[in-house]
Amino acid sequence: MTELSIVQALNRGLRCAMESDPKVLLMGEDIGKLGGVFRVTEGLQKDFGEDRVIDAPLAESGIVGTAIGLALYGYRPVIEIQFDGFVYPAFDQIIVQLARMRYRSAGVLQLPITIRMPFGGGIGSVEHHGESPEAYFASTPGLRVVTCANPVDAYWMIQQAIASDDPVIFLEPKRRYWQKGEVDLSETLTSVPSMYQAKVLVEGSDCTIICYGPTVATSLHAAALAAQDGVSLEVIDLRTLSPLDLVTMEKSVKKTGRAVVVHEASSSGGIGGEVGQCLTESCFYYLQAPVLRVTGYDTPYPPSRIEDVYLPDVDRILDAVEKSMSY
């Protein structure tokens, strides 16, 4: 077992993918000599060269467009979007080209591109450096959308994403980048769970907490505090936002009869609404209360000095659990 932060785990995962397949290359702003703003790609250009770790111009649309061309010629590009709020200039390439190419060509053309993106708030950043755009991508057919919440998943899921023949939006919770955990580097890609499979992190009987990315640690903290008061919460890390692992969620909710979905993105049109509707359709006769949401508010991320008011915290999660159990 090796103790790694999420940043270190991602770095090692990228290194493994590049060592195992010479067609894997990295592209992004400042990812070479600097090693990226968060140092995820640190040392990779030195070891693999400037032809495989490419410092790209400040042009997200151009980066994604170039990656699409490379993928059509057999490469497996891994793109870094420096901050979540910088992805919007590349929307046309991602939504209109990248997501549709395989369908448009009846499966003849594949675009095995991974787009890495730090997302969420909590780091005291300025505007455009803290956002949660995941619902845009999860609602786009043709894209796979996944997110890691700990070093183990960071290490394995980035390798699984790169190995996928479908384009993958790989979301990294930036305020958890320095969270550490033990990773068993002796395992193999074939022995670890699929990145499309949700994980039950804590088993419980009273209410199911469904979360992903940066809110996983918050939800685990809430479950630990609830246990002190005799309330048993089951915590599920979705890991994949498209496709959703409905089987794992349904099994849990049929046991607990209640569910609370937690995410930083705003409530309207968010992942929580989709999860809630799916559970209502499949678990209607098991639910003892409506599926509740604890989310960011329907505003842009606020200035960093009041960000704590915006982000879902332990108190808001426990309040929702109490409300669910009062029905």
The pLDDT, as a whole number, for residue 177 is: 97
Please identify every stretch of the chain with a pLDDT value under 50, giving residue numbers as ranges.
none
What count of other Cβ atoms lies within 10 Å of the Cβ of residue 238?
24
- The answer to whether 214 and 176 have CB atoms below 8 angstroms apart is yes
Is the Cα torsion angle 180, 181, 184, 190 positive or negative in sign? negative
Q: Which residues of 182-195 are buried (b: 16+ CB within 10 A; e: fewer)?
A: ebeeeeeeeebeeb
Is the link from the previous residue into 22 a cis peptide, with omega within 30 of 0? Answer: no
pLDDT of the residue at 283: 97
Q: Give yes or no for a contact between 26 and 78, defined as CB atoms under 8 angstroms apart.
A: yes
Q: What is the pLDDT of residue 305?
A: 87
**In whole angstroms, how far apart are CA 48 and each of 29, 157, 236?**
17, 21, 37
pLDDT of residue 126: 86
pLDDT score at 161: 98
Instruction: Return the CA Rg of the chain.
Output: 19
pLDDT (tens digit, 9 = 90+) per residue, 111-126? 999 999 999 999 988 8
**What confidence score (pLDDT) does residue 33 get?**
95
| pLDDT score for 162 | 98
pLDDT at 125: 86
Please report the sign of the dihedral spanned by the C-alpha atoms of residue 22, residue 28, residue 33, residue 35: negative
Cβ–Cβ under 8 Å, residues 118 and 83: yes
Q: According to the model, what pLDDT value does residue 86 have? A: 95
Residues catalogued as catalytic: 129
Separation of alpha carbons 5 and 75, rounded Å: 29
State residue 45's pLDDT score: 98
Strands 76-80 and 24-28: parallel
pTM to 2 decimals?
0.96
- Domains along the chain? 2-183 (3.40.50.970), 199-325 (3.40.50.920)
